[in-house]
Structure 1
């Protein structure tokens, strides 16, 4: 306006953050999930399988003019109640959960403008983009700006639709059953999607998704086909290999126009252990920085439910980084003390509650317990971060590095507060999260939490064992080895205490490596034994553990993977004197 009137601009600041909706606003105008007039049935918890998949009424933010509305004839054929184009124009369309969101639109992707970027946030408001149809600026608060890019520059919409059709063809007509199965079993303890948003979109058309996300949901759900009557009795099963290939190929294309759905798809794909690579994790972390997931979104002008989704997604990525670093033996990429400003998840960040599972069939996971499991996994990942930062960095473990300089006594002192932290964490677990806390006809993901706790405890004592020097006080050496022995015996009981309700639930990508770490820990104790008697003891423990995995391997895929890993690395140990082993083997 200033340019139009030939006057100097006196408004040098960006637009102020939008005021939040008041609690007294009519429910149909709220953007939060529990009060959104989304055009779907209120309280919807499962799919309406009779909804016409060809009807798409989602309107991307600020692009209502580009939407093609269905003809009155088509609406009359689909449903008489939808006929009448006067109710479907931009001015009268139904509010959607996606209104006002940042990273959830199909045809745009956002780019977080970092503080050292060549763009200066306070200057971006002064000059409009040269072509507003391909790029725009969105300010979320006084300090946060995103560049919004149109997707047409990097991918073909025709190709996206073709990919979605190819994915749907692989699972048709079982797609809806797979979606329901995913939200029954995977989602409760790994809530990186917004269930109501996903179902709202799926009820309209599978064309509303990014291809890798839809493929990833189908792919994970296929592992639990036996828990769905339609899937388990079907004479035809989807081609899992074909679906996996489509997920990976479309994921590569989606990374050219990254959005929240890209990160969600990547995390889901990585939960299948064979698809988990450190390079893939690194790409997802870099992608998340472009989405601004590493900064606090509390004051952003976006719907409250998207803030909760962003926090859950950010912490899921944090866990992926820490466990990926441990599993692959690589440095952590997320530094919580420096480049991580994400507020801890709260109960309000989880939209589902116990009422959402009232009608779930047998074999489902419990929503409330799943939420608590997710929060406890976050706590464990923070402790794991301390372990890795203290004992497993390049500077700490190098020759004449930090650990070698402080000696065995110093290393034990460093470990003491973390040991106490782990002990307090375990003591504070509620009864519902105990390993024995299973319910009839309900799957329980508690086992993954206890295995993660054990893996962190062993990683800590593995560092202690490696740093017992020849000049360490005998009583300290004895205490460290006895503590390690006690933890090994305790860890080996986990696999035998797992019930079918545990093993058939959702386990993340790290489960097989966590189980393998128990056998590796026993191998380290064997390799550093003081005499033949002690070496024989640990050799027998390894053989017992391998047998426990072997008898469960047919029913438990991650146990089969752990068995394969261990037999290739530590199988066939004999009662060899540690004194006869080369120094390299003493520091496994």
Structure 2
């Protein structure tokens, strides 16, 4: 039976590591020099102060780690500047009561004995990695549940001295408590299969970088990281300055891969031949499977980054991203990423990092569930991660080099994407879950039931949209900077598209629906389709070349399928021809944009052009394509019905308070650079265009963005 060794807390100052101040020298000049050096080491250098980064100086070096990495002078000439904080600016995002009570800086003291659960980082002077839990170098951690054996929560005094094991050969479970209610088992990496292969793999990855590793790392943090901030820049650069061998092989490969997409954005790289990304991709995914035997935060980071590498998911079906998501969520649970770590005994930077990784994992789970039609893996009852706040994003200095991403805008995009994913989770549960589908199929009036379910969801989407700050408008990118706002806007449009695709499908399967109801639902769906097509058509270079979140290709394809559905159920040849023309325009825009830098749109075209064969009941196959608009689909509202049926007031009409007349769908225009707007000229009375329509369904609230 294995015994348990616990890492107890005490008040020893040993956890703070060696003192930064040396003993006073006997010679006056030496004393003055020592005092000056002590003062310099007690505050950040000028570059780190401007970058608002932790200044780390290794013993024996006069330059800090970051200045050494950037090959710049390390000086202490500038006086400290007062901290500026504008919590009420339009770019700060939505705040909650909890946010308003958050102090300017979280303060915590770590009381850990040196050497307990953290190997050489414990005694590494000035390192950010001291006392880390999730990024240990030679150990990994595993969350201990309440029903684990031995029960470490009910027996807090368990340790080797209190319960010695008679068998000297018995192995111990080393346990680290980060909170009275949360503990982790600390496991040595060399006890796992494939550990020795890691050193060979990381050397092979570095060799594939062909001596350009440093440039690729800087390029990654210039372009990718601001839009998808799941790494800690200072921690990564600190480790890279010491040795690339400190990294998990798949994380190093993932950073190199994503940075290689912007190869020409670096002057030095643009003069060199491109690295072998095919070999690097194969090595990245192979080493990821090996690293999963020793799960760390870096393993989840690598998986999340590799999920963004679009080229890896354009092949056979067995390369589906949902399989990787299952593995990542499982690892996240084992690392405690689904829990609130706000009060854990961890370094401050790791608390913010865990929160960002946790929300990135949550986002991937929800969007994979939507686009792959899979059950969501993270339930609301087991998700206890605090909302993202400004304190969770320590990197806030913009890179002035042209072609860089915008740090502050990227933080807002990431935060609002997390908020949108929470709404998406409710949509998945309410509309697309297996239970919801069964309840809808059994409803007496399926259309009325669906509209009732959609009402609070549309209200949530409306509130989310109206709280978007001005800095997240499509036309606010800084000069010569890349803007990742596009993927957030596309994600929002996709949620709307999926809801109205479901509405059209239910409408089509309803036996008798009034003409007014049919036109209302189709007008709302048509607006979403037009918004989506105009969005794609009006993207500019700063959007196309920026980072795009992994579901973007399928999001574009879903916009196309909504247009197909509208065209297939059109009530006239003219309307069908209109949708056919818009679909061709959309495909043309995708083609042009893909050649202009948005490579994910090439994948969207492949999805759109994919043909399928439907097997009929007699075992034969008939070819059909997803782009065909020749199917004979019944259009609800055009069936013959009795006067009593025509003037009936079903529940859906009562909720929508419609006027009993057919309304024409006018020309809908989406201005991707200003706001959601509608050209109301075709209507004789613009004010009455959507009179009687619920604004949550027709989308008029999208026209008043701040």
1:516-531 to structure 2, matched below 5 A, reads 516-531=557-572
Per-residue displacement from partner, 1:373-412 (whole Å, max 9, x unpaired)? 11011111111111111110111113x6467455211211
Instruction: From the superposition, tell whether residues 45 and 284 of structure 1 become closer, same or farther in structure 2 (CA, over 3 Å).
Output: farther
Is it true that 1:296 corresponds to 2:340 in the alignment?
A: yes
Does residue 564 in structure 1 map to residue 602 in structure 2?
A: no
Rounded to whole Å, the distance in 1 between the matches of 2:443 and 2:241 is: 60
Consecutive unaligned residues of structure 1, counting only runs of 5 or more, are: 1-12, 52-59, 68-88, 582-588
CA drift of 1:452 comes to: 0.7
1:343 aligns with: 386
Note closer, same or farther for the CA distance 1:546–1:155 as it changes in structure 2 (3 Å cut). Answer: same
Residue 663 of structure 2 corresponds to which residue in structure 1?
none
- Aligned mates of 1:466, 1:44 — CA distance in 2: 56
Superposition deviation, residue 449 in structure 1? 0.9
In the other structure, the counterpart of 1:542 is 583
1:418 Cα deviation from its structure 2 partner: 1.6
- Alpha-carbon deviation of 1:471? 2.9
Pick from 629, 634, 647: which aligns with 1:579?
634
Structure-1 separation of matches of 2:370 and 2:42: 46
User: Of 227, 233, 252, which residue of structure 2 is paired with 1:214?
Assistant: 252
Q: Partner of 1:104 in structure 2?
A: 135
State the Cα distance separating 1:431 from its structure 2 match: 1.8
Aligned partners of 2:189, 2:154: CA distance in 1, in Å? 25
2:424 maps to 1:390: no
Task: Indicate if the aligned counterparts of 1:298 and 1:307 stay in contact, CA closer than 8 A.
Answer: yes
The question of 1:202 aligning with 2:240 is answered: yes
* Residues 530 and 579, structure 1, Cα contact 8 Å, conserved in 2: no
Q: Is 1:128 aligned with 2:128?
A: no
Residue 503 (structure 1) aligned with residue 544 (structure 2): yes
CA shift digits 1:65-121 (9 cap, x unpaired): 986xxxxxxxxxxxxxxxxxxxxx987x51310011111012101000122334423
1:375 matched residue in structure 2: 415
Q: Establish whether residue 254 from structure 1 lines up as the match of residue 298 from structure 2.
A: no
Instruction: State the match for 2:456 in structure 1.
Output: 417
Other-structure match for 2:30:
none
How many matched pairs? 531
Which residue does the alignment assign to 2:263?
225
Mapped contact 1:138–1:148 kept (Cα < 8 A): yes
Which residues of structure 2 form unaligned runs of 5+?
A: 1-5, 21-38, 74-112, 314-319, 612-624, 637-706
CA contact (8 A) 2:568 2:633 kept: yes
Contact kept, 8 Å, 1:190 with 1:370, in 2: the verdict is: yes
- Once residues 118 and 148 of structure 2 are traced to their aligned partners in structure 1, the CA distance between those partners, rounded to angstroms, is 33
2:76 is matched with none
Q: 1:372 to 1:17 in 2, by over 3 A?
A: farther
Instruction: Answer yes or no: is 1:44 the counterpart of 2:66.
Output: yes
Tell me which residue corresponds to 1:192.
230
Return closer, same or farther for 1:265/1:132 CA change in 2, 3 Å cut-off: farther
Which secondary structure state, in structure 2, belongs to the residue aligned with residue 139 of structure 1?
strand
SS at match of 1:505: coil
Are the structure 2 counterparts of residues 394 and 157 from structure 1 closer, same or farther at C-alpha, using a change threshold of 3 Å? closer
Q: CA deviation at 1:560?
A: 0.9
| Larger helix fraction of residues | 1
Q: Does residue 178 of structure 2 align to residue 166 of structure 1?
A: no
| 2:394 aligned counterpart, secondary structure | coil
| Cα distance change on mapping 1:203 and 1:61 into 2, 3 Å | farther
Q: CA deviation at 1:44?
A: 3.0
Distance apart, 1:549 and its partner CA: 1.4
Output the CA distance in 1 between the equivalents of 2:152 and 2:535: 53
Match in the other structure for 2:87: none
**Which residue of the partner structure matches residue 457 of structure 1?**
496
User: TM-score if structure 2 supplies the norm length?
Assistant: 0.70
**TM-score normalised according to structure 1 size:** 0.83
**In 1: Cα distance, 2:442 partner to 2:268 partner:** 57
2:353 alignment partner in structure 1? 309
What CA distance in whole angstroms lies between the structure 2 residues aligned with 1:485 and 1:174? 49
Shift of 1:540: 2.2
Aligned partners of 2:241 and 2:567: how far apart in 1? 57
User: Is this contact kept in 2: 1:135–1:150, CA < 8 A?
Assistant: no
Q: Which residue of 1 aligns with 2:101?
A: none
Taking the aligned partners of 2:287 and 2:474, their CA distance within structure 1 comes to: 38
Change (3 A) 1:574 1:63: closer
Aligned equivalent of 2:511: 470
Aligned partner of 1:54 in structure 2 is none
Q: Is the 8 A contact 1:435 1:446 kept in 2?
A: yes
Change (3 A) 1:560 1:184: same
Q: 1:121 to 1:226 in 2, by over 3 A?
A: same
**Aligned residue in 1 for 2:700:** none
CA change 1:178–1:409 in 2 (3 A) is: same
- Report how far residue 163 of structure 1 moved: 0.9
How far residue 368 of structure 1 moved from its aligned partner, in angstroms, is: 0.8
For the pair shown, the structure with the greater C-alpha radius of gyration is 2
Counterpart residue number, 1:6:
none
For 1:237 and 1:554, the matched residues in 2 are separated by 19
Give CA deviations for 1:269-314 in whole Å, capped at 9, x if unaligned: 1112334521110010001000000011011100111000000000
User: How far did 1:425 drift?
Assistant: 1.9
